[in-house]
Amino acid sequence: MAPFYKYGFFGDEMSLVLAFVLGTGFGFFLERAGFGSARKLAAQFYLFDMSVFKVMFTAIVTAMLGVTYLGWLGWLDLSLVYLVPTHLVPQIVGGLVLGVGFVVGGYCPGTSVASLATGRVDGFVYAFGIGAGTLAYAEVYPWLKEFVNSNDMGQVTLPEVFNLPWGLLVFAVVMIAVAGFSAATLIERRIGDKS
């Protein structure tokens, strides 16, 4: 039944329209969470506001539980869901590069667009930087190609890598999230009091 695109319920044009609708919704909720402001995002790194951690981890847990139950009910064919292939080392390096950009600029790619939409100048500069960086990356890609494509593990999931039952991993991630939320609240109280 789902994924709808893979079952041919709609074509490419419609998928672009849906992507726009979903993207707009995503941006709306980023803004609602206060992530249109670099101050809120930077606060995460000073540990006095853990909203970023909480919102993102909540999104992960919500999506994970939804996908698990839809798959269990047989409404979603998980083996047809596209996964970005894992290239362990290049992706760790890429993640660090993104993290540095996050700390320096106060945005991640999605939030910078949300902030651009509300007319913030820093969001515009950041989004422009993403565009310029993407172009630059495309130009040097031939030299990076070998590294970027190294360590190919294919489209893998954690249950496959660790050879654990799917349900056990879901349970573990939920527990980690709940423990993380409690810890985050404690940290906020401690550091928030001082500042």
- The residues with which 2 forms a beta bridge, in sequence order, are 76
DSSP, collapsed to helix, strand or coil, labels residue 86 as strand
Interface mask toward other proteins for 85-124; x: CB under 8 A: ----------------------------------------
Of 121 and 171, nearer to other proteins (C-beta) is 171
**81 belongs to the binding site for other proteins (CB under 8 A):** yes
Q: From the CB of 121, what's the least distance to other proteins, in Å?
A: 25
**Separation between Cα atoms, residue 167 and residue 8, nearest integer Å:** 29
**171 belongs to the binding site for other proteins (CB under 8 A):** yes
**6 belongs to the binding site for other proteins (CB under 8 A):** yes
User: According to CB under 8 A, which one of 46, 82, 131, 193 is a site residue for other proteins?
Assistant: 82
Under the phi-then-psi rule, with left for phi > 0, alpha for psi from -120 to 50, and beta for the rest, what region is 154? left
User: According to CB under 8 A, which one of 33, 61, 116, 127 is a site residue for other proteins?
Assistant: 61
Burial degree of 55 (CB within 10 A; 0-12, 13-18, 19+): middle
Closest C-alpha among 179, 159, 162, 184 to residue 170:
159
User: According to CB under 8 A, which one of 78, 117, 130, 187 is a site residue for other proteins?
Assistant: 78
**168 belongs to the binding site for other proteins (CB under 8 A):** yes
What is the Cα gyration radius of the chain?
A: 19
